Structure 1
Amino acid sequence: MALRFPEDFLWGASTAAHQVEGNNTNSDFWLMENLEGSLFKERSGSAVDHYRLFKEDIALLSSFGLNSYRFSIEWARIEPEEGQFDRAAIEHYREVLLACRNNNVTPIVTLHHFSTPQWLIREGGWESPETPARFARYCSHVMKELGELIPYVCTINEANISIGIAKIIKRHQSGGSQAQVGINTDNMSQMQKYFMALGQAFGVHPQQVHSFLGARSEKGLEVIFKSHLEARSAIRRISPNTQIGLTLSLYDIQSIPGGEEHAAHAWHEEFLQFLPYMEDDDFFGLQNYTRTVYGPEGLLPIPVEAEKTQMGNEYYPEALGAVVRFVSKHLEKPIMITENGIATDNDERRIAFVDSALKGVQACISEGIPVIGYMHWSLLDNFEWQLGFSKTFGLIEVDRTTQERKPKPSAYHLGSIARNNSI
């Protein structure tokens, strides 16, 4: 018997501006990628040229059978210098939103997805107490111009990402292996030189380069909380019909006997401490890719025999349903799955992953949990930050020499599920 989803379920895919648009020259990441000795494996350059080819990409998404598209508006394009708003950039994103409307696609807009204007980093970045007001001002400008076209908005993508980054750094400092740490730590002197160069490029002390993808102090985490609250308040005043949420990246946090306390602490750090700041949100954006397992001594390594993705994550699609259930016990709000997927060059494994993940979601819905949508990560193979273009998450392959789009079987498979509203 086919498992049915609600008739108004949002079926879609996600992207992030810096990863797909190309030539995002006023962002902090552009500067970091292009420094001599950069830790980025390659530069984003023209990426997959989505800034020019967005109409084609949205039409493709619709042709698969998907009815929603989650994408981000790039702050560094809208406000390239503080207080200077770029009319052409606003009109570009108006065209993106209209392309969604013309293809009967519901847009879900993220206002900050990791990349930040260079000027904000010079002014203290995501540790500055002035950042919440600056972020709210940008959000206000976008919503005044475009709010009537935006039914759903995520203020900040993965507001908890710095907590995971801090754990990675801590594992390295305590002598964890490269596999446990999750980053290449072969050349720490190169990293030190790079951070010195970063400071010079931004015109601040190296320790004062506070991009979004960095470890936060307690004060910096408070900046994230306040940025969401002030943005939400501004959006509500300007665009009261827009539904507002926040996205968090959540592992399915498990434990073996003796690891329960470690797991409970991880749930608090990565999710529960954010609950007070989401009380007045309209929905929650849930992002999940895999699980973590804790034992008596802390985080356990992935079993040697486990299947792994290109990102080094355990292939574990069952994680999604488990996380939906955990979230629903603590947060009485509609849940939108804003990211879920895998990096793999084996599209059959992507299809199997989607099927297993969605069976878990449907089981949650049948239990009465209000899941309102599923956005696959990602629509296109794209620029995976420091790792470059080698990690293939997309439903669509891109030949970057020609920018030709090549939909994968998984795109049509997910579209078929969406058309039939069942799996």
Structure 2
Amino acid sequence: MSKQPSLAALAALVAPPAGSPLWRKDFVFGSGTSSYQIEGAAFEDGRLRSIWDSFCATPGKVLRAENGDVACDHYHRFDEDVALMADLGLDAYRFSIAWPRVMDEAGRPNAKGIDFYKRLLDSLERRGIKAYVTLYHWDLPQNLEDRGGWLNRELAYRFADYADLMTRELRGRVAAWATFNEPWCSAYLGYGNGHHAPGHAQLRWGAQAMHHHLLAHGLALPAMRANDPGAQHGLVANVSPAYPVTPADARAVTLFNAYQNAWVLDPLLRGEYPADLWALWPGCEPLVLTDDMATIAQPLDYLGLNYYSRAVVRSTGPDSFTWVHPEGVERTTMDWEVYPQGLQDILEQFKRDYANLPPLVITENGCASQDEVDASGQVDDTQRQTYVRSHLEALSRAMQNGVDVRGYFVWSLLDNFEWAFGYERRFGLVHVDFETQRRTPKLSALAYADFLKQR
């Protein structure tokens, strides 16, 4: 990283005030990616077809008909990418394993695919970077979707087999395991409204798919803990606070919280689904068998939270609401409002709502912006620099108010394949030229590195 950031870039990530809990020596700073978004090597070394391969091949599903066949070519360039992480001074790297890469259609291990992750861990270990590993970041093998996917209860048991395999193969080398990243997105966007793979759009299917995700999580935990007792074991949820347009819209806030947050967190932490969700979606309750909720509600070592923005909502009936699009506010290229106070608010809300809230990790926080390499070879992503600074300040305030947060990961390390938006939306600390695969650390990356050095 030979380029030096401008003074403005360095100032954008000012150090927290003296005494901030962010200065704790055991607080983990990192960045993250996911398998389908960066690995490429789509069908190399025995990797199976995934639901995202199929979704991308379906006309009209992905912007400009783009796909993850090559993506960031991380499968071949991982050592270069880990060297970038070391240059940034990251404590940890959060990545996901591609289920289609590590097992064949009969459910047997694929040694070549597993070896890739062992070599990636070797590279991280050489540079002293901790591994935070997610088992499922949405790339289900297509052959399992052909058998019903997450609508088929049997898949929960197949996931437990997969989790057992990977925690045996990689035991002792992973700091923290997550069963799932954002089951809300996988279940609701994949089965409830069709925006993501596999593209189904029935609310009741979304609810049943969610139940099977959470059941799979619970079924997997015992073997994961037995196989790798030195690691932390948890799950990652995407969360967002809601704010009413007027005091009369309090019911809208309650319904949004059930839909966005409690749908995942109540089963995990209370052993039940929120009743308000079925008021919002009458008749969509999933089939729940005896002992399912007890299986789901096993204690977690940590809970990962992904935060990007807030929701402003208005009631449209006694059990319905709609989103309101505030005017005159800063937005990212995802059209998401920049609202750092929401991070503090949602963390403090969960502390109030859940007496058994486990330690938290902010596993994703970041923004998509218009990023281009300028004539000097730099990428001056001013919005991202300010975004990270303001959210770290909000996180510090929540921690000072008693919320137990153990780490913070910027999303994402690299510009990557942004699902249905293809390569248009750039979230990375590092700019990727997808034609040449050239990596260019943005000024936000250099500012983040400078911030980490101050510790």
Query: What's the % identity of the aligned pairs?
Result: 30
Per-residue CA deviations over 1:204-254 (Å, capped at 9, x if unaligned) read xxxxx5779997443322211111101112201211222111111111222
**In structure 2, C-alpha distance between the alignment counterparts of 1:251 and 1:381, rounded to whole Å:** 23
Instruction: Determine the structure 2 residue equivalent to 1:339.
Output: 364
Q: Closer, same or farther in 2 for the Cα pair 1:87/1:162, shift >3 Å?
A: closer
Question: Would the aligned equivalents of 1:163 and 1:215 in 2 still touch at CA under 8 Å?
Answer: no
Instruction: Determine the structure 1 residue equivalent to 2:212.
Output: 223
Question: Would the aligned equivalents of 1:16 and 1:72 in 2 still touch at CA under 8 Å?
Answer: yes
Per-residue CA deviations over 1:294-344 (Å, capped at 9, x if unaligned) read 223323322232222111111222222222212222242110001010001
**In structure 1, C-alpha distance between the alignment counterparts of 2:180 and 2:109, rounded to whole Å:** 20
**In structure 2, C-alpha distance between the alignment counterparts of 1:23 and 1:211, rounded to whole Å:** 27
Per-residue CA deviations over 1:87-121 (Å, capped at 9, x if unaligned) read 01111101111111111111100000011111110
**In structure 2, C-alpha distance between the alignment counterparts of 1:310 and 1:36, rounded to whole Å:** 23
Deviation at 1:169?
4.3
- Three-state SS of the structure 1 residue aligned to 2:30 is strand
Per-residue CA deviations over 1:373-392 (Å, capped at 9, x if unaligned) read 00110000000011100101
Bigger shift: residues 8-17 or 339-348: 339-348
Question: Would the aligned equivalents of 1:335 and 1:371 in 2 still touch at CA under 8 Å?
Answer: yes
Partner AA of 2:160 in structure 1 = A
Instruction: Determine the structure 2 residue equivalent to 1:263.
Output: 253
Alignment of 1:207-246 (within 5 A): 216-246=205-235
Question: Would the aligned equivalents of 2:188 and 2:210 in 1 still touch at CA under 8 Å?
Answer: no
Per-residue CA deviations over 1:387-423 (Å, capped at 9, x if unaligned) read 10010100000111211110001012122222324xx
**In structure 2, C-alpha distance between the alignment counterparts of 1:20 and 1:369, rounded to whole Å:** 33
Partner AA of 1:7 in structure 2 = K
Question: Would the aligned equivalents of 2:344 and 2:394 in 1 still touch at CA under 8 Å?
Answer: yes
> Cα RMSD between the aligned structures?
2.4
Instruction: Determine the structure 2 residue equivalent to 1:187.
Output: none
Partner AA of 2:402 in structure 1 = G
Question: Would the aligned equivalents of 2:236 and 2:363 in 1 still touch at CA under 8 Å?
Answer: yes
**In structure 1, C-alpha distance between the alignment counterparts of 2:161 and 2:86, rounded to whole Å:** 33
Counterpart pick for 2:396 among 362, 365, 374: 362
**In structure 2, C-alpha distance between the alignment counterparts of 1:168 and 1:302, rounded to whole Å:** 23
Bigger shift: residues 160-169 or 53-62: 160-169
Partner AA of 1:138 in structure 2 = Y
Instruction: Determine the structure 2 residue equivalent to 1:312.
Output: 335
Instruction: Determine the structure 2 residue equivalent to 1:34.
Output: 57
Q: Closer, same or farther in 2 for the Cα pair 1:64/1:222, shift >3 Å?
A: same
Bigger shift: residues 409-418 or 372-381: 409-418
**In structure 2, C-alpha distance between the alignment counterparts of 1:37 and 1:254, rounded to whole Å:** 34
- Three-state SS of the structure 1 residue aligned to 2:150 is helix
Instruction: Determine the structure 2 residue equivalent to 1:179.
Output: none
Per-residue CA deviations over 1:38-81 (Å, capped at 9, x if unaligned) read 54431222101111111111111121121110000110101131
Instruction: Determine the structure 2 residue equivalent to 1:60.
Output: 84
List gaps (5 residues or longer) in structure 2.
Answer: 1-16, 44-48, 272-295, 372-380
- Three-state SS of the structure 2 residue aligned to 1:345 is coil
Give the length in aligned residue pairs. 386
**In structure 1, C-alpha distance between the alignment counterparts of 2:407 and 2:202, rounded to whole Å:** 26
- Three-state SS of the structure 2 residue aligned to 1:107 is strand
Deviation at 1:150?
1.1
Instruction: Determine the structure 2 residue equivalent to 1:381.
Output: 415
Deviation at 1:279?
4.5
**In structure 1, C-alpha distance between the alignment counterparts of 2:401 and 2:97, rounded to whole Å:** 35
Instruction: Determine the structure 2 residue equivalent to 1:253.
Output: 242
Partner AA of 1:284 in structure 2 = L
Bigger shift: residues 3-12 or 139-148: 3-12
**In structure 2, C-alpha distance between the alignment counterparts of 1:265 and 1:163, rounded to whole Å:** 18
**In structure 2, C-alpha distance between the alignment counterparts of 1:406 and 1:395, rounded to whole Å:** 9
Counterpart pick for 2:142 among 98, 115, 118: 118
Question: Would the aligned equivalents of 2:191 and 2:200 in 1 still touch at CA under 8 Å?
Answer: no
Q: Closer, same or farther in 2 for the Cα pair 1:168/1:314, shift >3 Å?
A: farther
**In structure 2, C-alpha distance between the alignment counterparts of 1:54 and 1:159, rounded to whole Å:** 27
Partner AA of 2:40 in structure 1 = G
- Three-state SS of the structure 2 residue aligned to 1:392 is coil
Question: Would the aligned equivalents of 1:121 and 1:210 in 2 still touch at CA under 8 Å?
Answer: no
- Three-state SS of the structure 1 residue aligned to 2:181 is coil
Q: Does 1:47 align with 2:71?
A: yes
List gaps (5 residues or longer) in structure 1.
Answer: 171-182, 184-194, 199-208
Counterpart pick for 2:349 among 326, 330, 340: 326
Instruction: Determine the structure 2 residue equivalent to 1:296.
Output: 315
Instruction: Determine the structure 1 residue equivalent to 2:305.
Output: 286
Counterpart pick for 1:409 among 432, 443, 448: 443
**In structure 2, C-alpha distance between the alignment counterparts of 1:148 and 1:224, rounded to whole Å:** 26
Q: Does 1:154 align with 2:184?
A: no
Q: Closer, same or farther in 2 for the Cα pair 1:353/1:278, shift >3 Å?
A: farther
**In structure 1, C-alpha distance between the alignment counterparts of 2:307 and 2:182, rounded to whole Å:** 11
Q: Closer, same or farther in 2 for the Cα pair 1:221/1:37, shift >3 Å?
A: closer
Q: Closer, same or farther in 2 for the Cα pair 1:168/1:221, shift >3 Å?
A: closer
Instruction: Determine the structure 1 residue equivalent to 2:94.
Output: 70
Question: Would the aligned equivalents of 1:147 and 1:239 in 2 still touch at CA under 8 Å?
Answer: yes
Bigger shift: residues 276-285 or 110-119: 276-285
Q: Closer, same or farther in 2 for the Cα pair 1:380/1:213, shift >3 Å?
A: farther
Alignment of 1:14-25 (within 5 A): 14-25=32-43
**In structure 1, C-alpha distance between the alignment counterparts of 2:349 and 2:106, rounded to whole Å:** 40
Partner AA of 1:48 in structure 2 = C
**In structure 2, C-alpha distance between the alignment counterparts of 1:163 and 1:34, rounded to whole Å:** 20
